[in-house]
Structure 1
Amino acid sequence: GKDITNILFKDVDSIRIERSRATQKLRYIFLENNLILVLRPNNGFFTLSMHSARIIKTNFEMPKLRVIVLNEISEFIKKGRNVFCKHVIDIDENLRPLDEVIVVNQDDEILAIGRLKLPVTYVKSFSSGVAVNIRKGVNKSKI
């Protein structure tokens, strides 16, 4: 949303855009040589990087853009495992399916970034099923 755009792009002079070699369309957005967003060409949505997740986390209070999970499963999520509904303690009420989310533990420590699969009401009420498809766990992240 607009709030996130204002946070990520507040220093416009430090933004660098890289285009796809094949199509010459926008593909990557960097902030001071750190990748912050990647455009998914199949649907036009941006995906978060670990760097942008850290920026968002420091500028917004919990649970904004976050899925909060039990501390006990932190190590599994850090390795890139998906988040199941039964492990979710709290979630941002404004999230919708296919939104990019930051997965954190109860101490607000970033564990992974991924995409929400289900509506928030389902995540809260289901005791089985995948809530978030993890794209990168902090232990697997090179970005």
Structure 2
Amino acid sequence: MEREKPSPWERKALQRLLLYQFGVDFDLERLGDKLSVERSRRTGRIRKIFVGDTLFASVRLSDGFIVPTPEGWRLLLSVRRCYFVEVPEDVARYVSQGRTVFSKHVIEADREILPGDEVAVISGEEARVSGSGKAMLPGDSMGVIRRGKAIKTRTGAGESE
């Protein structure tokens, strides 16, 4: 598929969607000409968002929400620490391979997380992004509940590189 620059209206819509979905007022204008999109051939709607040659996020077909990649989460978390789940370094190694995060391994989680939300899995002092996935538990229950899945990992950081 062919990449193209989003229109000013589409830039504003993507920026507002990031604010609505993640509470991050991410200024897409600071990316300048590095921002590009890939569209559906049939509908013309945005399907993928790129920053340079790196996939920033996909747009989920069912509801139009943004699904950030680990690289996309790095950019979002540089603006505001939100929708994150922190795990120990030894667990992060498995998450980067695409493995599931269990609740007993969670050190800290954002209280705003609800089941079904897209989240970033981070580790270490520098909050390195190990992967991204879908929350299975509310953020305030992660780490408290000792059994079960906390996050179904969608993409590990090792898979996207």
TM range (shorter): 0.7 to 0.9
Residues 7 and 52 from structure 1, CA distance in 2 versus in 1: closer, same or farther, beyond 3 angstroms? farther
Please tell me whether the aligned partners of residues 8 and 52 of structure 1 are also in contact (alpha carbons under 8 angstroms): no
**Counterpart in the other structure of 2:30:** 10
Please tell me whether the aligned partners of residues 37 and 49 of structure 1 are also in contact (alpha carbons under 8 angstroms): yes
**Counterpart in the other structure of 2:5:** none
Deviations 1:107-142 (A, max 9, x none): 312111111111123324210111111111112114
Question: Aligned partner of 1:56: which letter?
Answer: L
1:124-135 map, 5 Å: 124-135=143-154
Question: Aligned partner of 1:109: which letter?
Answer: R
| Residues 1:21 and 2:41 are matched in the alignment | yes
Deviates more, 1:48-57 or 1:81-90: 48-57
**Secondary structure in 1 aligned to 2:158?**
coil
Give the TM-score taking structure 1 as reference length: 0.84
Count of residues in Structure 1 that have an aligned counterpart in Structure 2: 140
Residues 71 and 51 from structure 1, CA distance in 2 versus in 1: closer, same or farther, beyond 3 angstroms? closer
Question: Aligned partner of 1:83: which letter?
Answer: V
Residues 120 and 31 from structure 1, CA distance in 2 versus in 1: closer, same or farther, beyond 3 angstroms? same
| Whole-Å separation in 2 of the counterparts to 1:95 and 1:39 | 19
Deviations 1:21-77 (A, max 9, x none): 23322211122332212111022211001221111232334xx22100122312211
Question: Aligned partner of 1:29: which letter?
Answer: I
| Residues 1:72 and 2:94 are matched in the alignment | no
Which blocks of at least 5 consecutive residues in structure 1 are unaligned?
A: none
| Whole-Å separation in 1 of the counterparts to 2:108 and 2:63 | 28
| Residues 1:98 and 2:132 are matched in the alignment | no
**Secondary structure in 1 aligned to 2:140?**
helix
| Whole-Å separation in 2 of the counterparts to 1:104 and 1:111 | 5
| Residues 1:116 and 2:97 are matched in the alignment | no
Residues 93 and 52 from structure 1, CA distance in 2 versus in 1: closer, same or farther, beyond 3 angstroms? same
Question: Aligned partner of 2:43: which letter?
Answer: T
> How big is the alpha-carbon RMSD for the aligned residues of Structure 1 and Structure 2?
2.0
Give the TM-score taking structure 2 as reference length: 0.76
**Secondary structure in 1 aligned to 2:111?**
coil
Residues 82 and 111 from structure 1, CA distance in 2 versus in 1: closer, same or farther, beyond 3 angstroms? same
